[in-house]
């Protein structure tokens, strides 16, 4: 029974990591639509979203079934609780990627516009997502803390992008609709970084059993 339970937990962890990899791909290709102005990627992103959505439901089901069947305590229960939360953060990252790709499709049809710090924001957010998933896979709290620290950088880049685009819009009224869209994409990327931060916080809780959310002394 115990051996079976361990195998089931490994299977769950594997599913969550596969879902995470899909979300990484989604972010990667969504951004290609915007930066490379190549709308051909939007179908792939939307297709992956359907996959991510069914994984979302499956993983919740499995986690609840394991809790009901095996009545886990301490560390195993914390892993299952973390799985349920990380599952919901990943699903929302997928939604953000779809938003980015769909806004990108509109932008492909319009004249090129300044992207502000979007390319750097993508790097930071995608890096945070990757590292938060690695931290989950390895139970690595050091890496999780690293991820949490990087969220401030993303917020700074977002504010910079906002300011830059607002100035552009003020100088050139024809850029307003597109400028708005870039600002909304910056918001989407900021949200992805927030979800990666949530995942990192859940990893820390899972490993050391301490809830560090909302604490001033995060690090």
Q: Is 187 in the site for its own copies (CB under 8 A)?
A: yes
d(CA 198, CA 125) in angstroms, rounded, equals 13
Backbone angles phi, psi at 218, to 5 degrees: -70, -35
Provide the 10 A C-beta neighbour count for residue 184.
12
Q: Which one, 85 or 123, has the nearer CB to its own copies?
A: 85
* Residue of 38, 119, 170, 208 that binds its own copies (CB under 8 A): 170
Q: Is 71 in the site for its own copies (CB under 8 A)?
A: yes
* Residue of 6, 10, 43, 184 that binds its own copies (CB under 8 A): 184
CA proximity to 31, closest of 91, 110, 133, 108: 108
Q: Is 213 in the site for its own copies (CB under 8 A)?
A: yes
Stretch that binds its own copies, among 33-41, 61-69, 113-121, 153-161 (CB under 8 A): 61-69
Q: Is 74 in the site for its own copies (CB under 8 A)?
A: yes
Tokens 């029974």, located at residue: 1
Stretch that binds its own copies, among 10-18, 21-29, 62-70, 122-130 (CB under 8 A): 62-70
Nearest-approach distance from CB 215 to its own copies, in angstroms: 9
Q: Is 78 in the site for its own copies (CB under 8 A)?
A: yes
Which tokens hold the place of 173? 């009224």
- Interaction residues for its own copies, span 85-114 (CB under 8 A): 85, 88
Q: Which one, 32 or 195, has the nearer CB to its own copies?
A: 195
Q: Which one, 128 or 165, has the nearer CB to its own copies?
A: 165
Q: Is 64 in the site for its own copies (CB under 8 A)?
A: yes
* Residue of 5, 25, 44, 77 that binds its own copies (CB under 8 A): 77
137 Cβ neighbours under 8 A, 6+ residues apart: 13, 17
Helical ranges in the chain per DSSP H: 2-35, 42-70, 74-108, 118-138, 141-171, 176-208
Q: Provide the CB-side half-sphere exposure for 44 (13 A, CA).
A: 16
CA 181, distance to chain mean position in Å, is: 20
Using DSSP's 3-state secondary structure scheme, residue 58 falls into helix
CA proximity to 161, closest of 111, 109, 120, 127: 120
Q: Which one, 57 or 208, has the nearer CB to its own copies?
A: 57
d(CA 130, CA 17) in angstroms, rounded, equals 10
Binding site residues, its own copies, CB under 8 A: 53-54, 56-57, 60-61, 64, 67-68, 71-74, 77-78, 81, 84-85, 88, 162, 166, 169-170, 173, 176-177, 180, 183-184, 187, 211, 213-214
């Amino acid at each position: 029974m115990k051996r079976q339970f361990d195998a089931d937990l490994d299977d769950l962890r594997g599913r969550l990591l596969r879902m995470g990899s899909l979300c990484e791909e989604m972010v990667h290709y969504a951004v290609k639509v915007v930066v490379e102005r190549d709308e051909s990627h939007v179908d792939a992103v939307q297709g992956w979203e359907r996959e991510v959505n069914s994984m979302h439901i499956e993983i919740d089901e499995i986690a609840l079934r394991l809790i009901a069947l095996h009545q886990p305590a301490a560390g195993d229960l914390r892993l299952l609780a973390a799985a349920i939360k990380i599952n919901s953060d990943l699903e929302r990252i997928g939604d953000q990627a779809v938003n980015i790709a769909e806004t990108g499709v509109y932008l492909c049809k319009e004249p090129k516009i300044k992207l502000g710090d979007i390319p750097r924001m993508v790097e930071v957010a995608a890096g945070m997502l990757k590292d938060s998933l690695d931290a989950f896979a390895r139970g690595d709290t050091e890496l999780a803390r690293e991820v949490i620290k990087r969220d401030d950088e993303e917020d700074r880049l977002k504010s910079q992008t906002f300011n830059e685009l607002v100035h552009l819009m003020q100088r050139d009224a024809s850029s307003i609709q597109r400028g708005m869209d870039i600002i909304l994409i910056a918001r989407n990327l900021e949200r992805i970084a927030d979800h990666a931060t949530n995942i990192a916080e859940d990893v820390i809780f899972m490993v050391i059993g301490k809830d560090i959310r909302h604490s001033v002394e995060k690090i």
